[in-house]
A = this chain, B = another copy of it.
Amino acid sequence: MFKMFAEPIQDGPLRARLQSARAGALVVFEGWVRNHNEGFAVEALEYEAFAEMALLEAEKILAEARERWAIEAIVGAHRTGLLQIGEIAVWVGVSAAHRGEAFAACQYAMDEIKRRLPIWKKEHYRDRPAEWVNCQHCATAPAHHTHHHSATDGARV
């Protein structure tokens, strides 16, 4: 199960899906809005999603995780709209019999979510105009900038 939230992510219903008497391990990842990125003071973030495709792609990622590791359940969520510092932008939880599988599946899902979901963020800075992360680099310095939709370039967490 993967959900998009326009309001603050409530983890209660997400966690409920992970409960299992067979599970000995739970790993939860939360991506928080932090107050800086690449040296600039950030005041807020705006997330925009191509929701239909993001949900399709997210379900593919969760299915891949279930196929690759012996886990009980995996659940994710992503926020859209304007977020303040400290708010949860992304949430992934995995339950499994053993902790190695829970860690690996959670980390895989997060890497792929950042790499593949059609979701964008606009950073609102304290000292300069807001900009869409990655896009402005591409527009202004394409010759020196070769990330090709990389997961890490300009990524937040």
Contact residues of A with B, CB < 8 Å?
A: 19, 21-36, 85-86, 95, 97-99, 102-103, 106-107, 110, 156-157
18 more CB-based (< 8 A) A-B contacts, given A24-B31, A99-B110: A19-B86, A21-B35, A21-B85, A21-B86, A24-B33, A24-B157, A26-B30, A26-B32, A27-B27, A27-B29, A27-B106, A28-B28, A28-B30, A29-B103, A31-B99, A99-B107, A103-B106, A103-B107
**Which B residues are CB-close (under 8 A) to A21?**
34-35, 85-86
Copies of this protein chain in the complex = 2
Shortest Cβ distance from A102 into chain B, in angstroms?
8
> Separation in Å of the A42 CB from the closest CB of chain B?
10
